[in-house]
C-alpha cells in the first residue's frame, strides 16, 4: 500500500479517529447491560387480558394482550397504525453493502383500543413505538428508485383484529365510568405477550453481535490506518536523512 501524500494526512487521522469511535461504541455495547435489564424488566411484567385490566392499580406496568381496534377511519390498504417508507436504493459500502435502504416518511398512530370479547381498554397516548408489524404492503412488486418523486413506497403496520401486546402502564381514565382506567403505551407489538418477552430477550444477543462487529471494524480500521501512517513517517524520515 503506497504511503499517502502529506495533504492526505488529515484524512488518515480522521479515519483513525473514526475507527476509535467505532471500537469504543462496540466495546460499550459489549459491556453495557441495558439490553439485559430491559429483558429482565419485561419478563417480570404481569401479562393481562382486557377483562382483567380495570381492577389494576394505576401506575402499574403490565403487558396487555388483545385484539387491535380503533374508532377512527381505516387508513390506506386497511391499515390502522402504520409506518410509511420510501425506497432509496441500495447500500453502497460497509457491512450492509447491497441491502435495501428505506427512508422513513412518518408514522400514523390514531386513537386505538385493545379488546377481547366485550372488554376493551383504550390507549391514552400516541407516541409509542411499533415493533414486529404483522403486515407489509409495497406499491411495486420489486422496489424501484427513479427520483425522490418517483420511488416505491411501503407501509408496515397493524390492521383491525390483529393480536397485539402493549408494553405500558395503567393510567387513570377521563371520567368514563365504564372504563375508568386506560393504558399508556410504550411499545405496540405484533403478537402475544409471550412472543414479546422472547423478542426482547432475543434483542440482547443482537446488541452483543452488533457490538462485536463495531469493535472488529474499528480495530481493523485503526490498525490499517496506523500502519499506513507509520509507513509514511518512516519514508519521510528517510528522505530527511538523505537515505
Distance separating alpha carbons of residues 102 and 94, to the nearest angstrom: 16
Cα dist from 189 to 29, 41, 142, 167, whole Å: 24, 16, 27, 8
Domain coverage including residue 209 = 1-32+194-243
Cell of 151: 420511488
Same domain assignment for residues 139 and 187: yes
What secondary structure letter does DSSP report for 26? H
Task: Give the pLDDT confidence of 88-97 residue by residue, as tens digits.
Answer: 998 887 667 7
What secondary structure letter does DSSP report for 123? B
Q: State how many domains the chain has.
A: 2
pTM beyond cutoff 0.75? no
139-158: average pLDDT:
94
Same domain assignment for residues 8 and 115: no
Task: Give the pLDDT confidence of 187-219 residue by residue, as tens digits.
Answer: 999 999 999 998 888 755 555 566 677 677 777
Quick check: is 40 in a domain? no
Same domain assignment for residues 139 and 167: yes
109-127: average pLDDT:
95
CATH code of residue 56: 2.40.50
Same domain assignment for residues 26 and 121: no
Cell of 59: 401506575
Same domain assignment for residues 208 and 155: no
Same domain assignment for residues 57 and 122: yes
CB atoms under 10 Å from CB of 194, counted, come to 12
Distance separating alpha carbons of residues 101 and 105, to the nearest angstrom: 13
Cell of 200: 426482547
Same domain assignment for residues 177 and 77: yes
Quick check: is 2 in a domain? yes
Quick check: is 100 in a domain? yes
Distance separating alpha carbons of residues 133 and 146, to the nearest angstrom: 27
Same domain assignment for residues 84 and 178: yes
Quick check: is 216 in a domain? yes
pLDDT(51) > 90: yes
Amino acid at each position: 500500500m503506497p504511503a499517502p501524500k502529506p495533504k492526505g494526512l488529515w484524512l488518515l487521522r480522521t479515519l483513525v479517529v473514526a475507527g476509535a469511535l467505532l471500537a469504543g461504541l462496540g466495546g460499550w455495547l459489549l459491556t453495557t447491560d441495558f439490553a439485559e435489564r430491559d429483558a429482565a424488566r419485561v419478563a417480570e411484567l404481569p401479562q393481562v387480558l382486557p377483562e382483567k385490566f380495570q381492577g389494576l392499580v394505576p401506575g402499574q406496568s403490565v403487558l396487555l394482550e388483545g385484539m387491535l381496534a380503533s374508532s377512527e377511519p381505516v387508513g390506506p390498504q386497511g391499515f390502522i397504525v402504520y409506518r410509511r417508507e420510501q425506497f432509496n436504493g441500495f447500500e453502497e459500502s460497509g457491512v450492509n453493502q447491497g441491502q435495501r435502504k428505506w427512508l422513513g416518511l412518518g408514522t400514523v398512530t390514531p386513537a386505538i383500543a385493545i379488546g377481547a370479547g366485550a372488554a376493551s381498554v383504550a390507549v391514552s397516548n400516541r407516541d409509542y413505538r411499533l415493533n414486529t408489524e404483522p403486515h407489509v404492503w409495497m406499491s411495486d412488486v420489486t422496489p424501484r428508485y427513479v427520483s425522490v418523486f418517483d420511488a416505491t413506497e411501503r407501509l408496515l403496520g397493524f390492521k383491525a383484529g390483529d393480536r397485539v401486546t402493549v408494553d405500558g402502564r395503567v393510567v387513570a381514565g377521563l371520567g368514563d365510568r365504564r372504563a375508568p382506567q386506560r393504558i399508556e403505551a410504550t411499545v405496540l407489538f405484533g403478537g402475544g405477550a409471550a412472543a414479546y418477552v422472547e423478542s426482547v430477550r432475543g434483542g440482547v444477543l443482537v446488541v452483543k453481535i452488533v457490538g462485536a462487529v463495531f469493535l472488529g471494524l474499528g480495530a481493523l480500521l485503526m490498525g490499517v490506518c496506523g500502519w499506513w501512517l507509520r509507513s509514511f513517517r518512516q519514508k519521510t524520515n528517510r528522505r530527511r536523512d538523505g537515505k
